[in-house]
């Protein structure tokens, strides 16, 4: 029998249609999971906890032995798992979270708040309702780490205009916002060798790290974290 789906919210924003849905009775354990659908396409889900947290851990891992008072820019809030994991890392002083959809910010503070450990209310967090590209062009700040999770990766875009984030001009801008030795991390649902090559061209090196997660049915699946450092 198919699990029951409940539409919790359906809104039309300047960027398109955004829907929050809840699935009940997953795997027969009566556990509810959430999914966000954007313009009819899957965007994010509460069952992708492992890879979302690993994104934060892999970005901060190279920094914790080198420096304290870390400042992080996180593009994309989602359920809030990456933010939660960042706040649990040593040395985190501040996290600026840039999220284009105000509704996702509201959901992270309400529906997802218990899931993400009430991360949005941590005093180290600044929530910015803005397009990440516009923020990067306008900010005067620099960061120890920049993390992007606004799409399902460079091959599965939420908005076509996000493509520029993964092309050379966007990567050059990211590099300019990173402090010396800063880390840039990107979550991706699919491998993209062309993106890794562009990272290598801009930063001099890059790596693709395979991380395990699970789908709505509890089955194991692979996702990918791209990581590089400024010099």
Beta bridge partners of 34: 22
What pLDDT score was predicted for residue 29? 57
Per-residue pLDDT at 43: 87
Averaged over successive runs of 10 residues, the pLDDT of the chain (231 residues) comes to 80 94 68 88 90 97 90 97 97 97 96 96 98 96 97 89 94 97 96 96 96 82 96 85
In whole angstroms, give the CA distance from residue 175 to residue 59.
14
Question: So what's the pLDDT on residue 214?
Answer: 83
State the pLDDT at residue 94: 98
Please report the pLDDT score of residue 23 as a whole number: 84
pTM, two decimal places: 0.94
pLDDT in the model for residue 26: 54
User: How many Cβ atoms sit within 10 Å of the Cβ of residue 90?
Assistant: 10
- Helix, strand, coil percentages, rounded to 5, for the chain: 30, 40, 35
pLDDT of residue 3: 67
Rounded to whole angstroms, how far apart are CA atoms 156 and 64? 31
């Amino acid at each position: 029998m198919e699990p029951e789906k409940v539409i919790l919210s359906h809104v039309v924003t300047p960027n398109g249609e955004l829907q929050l849905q809840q699935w009940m009775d997953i795997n027969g354990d009566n556990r509810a999971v959430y999914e966000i659908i954007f313009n009819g396409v899957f965007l994010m889900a509460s069952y992708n906890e492992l890879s979302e947290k690993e994104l934060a851990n892999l970005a901060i891992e190279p920094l914790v032995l080198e420096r304290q008072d870390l400042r992080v820019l996180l593009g994309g809030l989602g359920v809030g798992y990456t933010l939660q994991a960042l706040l649990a890392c040593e040395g985190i002083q501040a996290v600026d979270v840039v999220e284009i959809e105000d509704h996702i910010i509201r959901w992270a503070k309400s529906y997802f708040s218990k899931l993400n450990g009430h991360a949005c209310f941590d005093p180290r967090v600044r929530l910015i309702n803005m397009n990440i590209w516009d923020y990067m062009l306008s900010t005067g700040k620099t960061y120890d780490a920049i993390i992007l999770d606004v799409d399902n990766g460079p091959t599965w875009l939420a908005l076509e205009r996000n493509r520029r984030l993964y092309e050379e001009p966007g990567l050059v801008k990211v590099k300019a916002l990173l402090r010396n030795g800063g880390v840039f991390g990107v979550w991706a649902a699919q491998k993209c060798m062309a993106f890794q090559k562009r990272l290598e061209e801009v930063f001099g090196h890059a790596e693709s790290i395979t991380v395990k997660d699970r789908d709505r049915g509890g089955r194991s699946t692979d996702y990918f974290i791209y990581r590089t450092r400024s010099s």
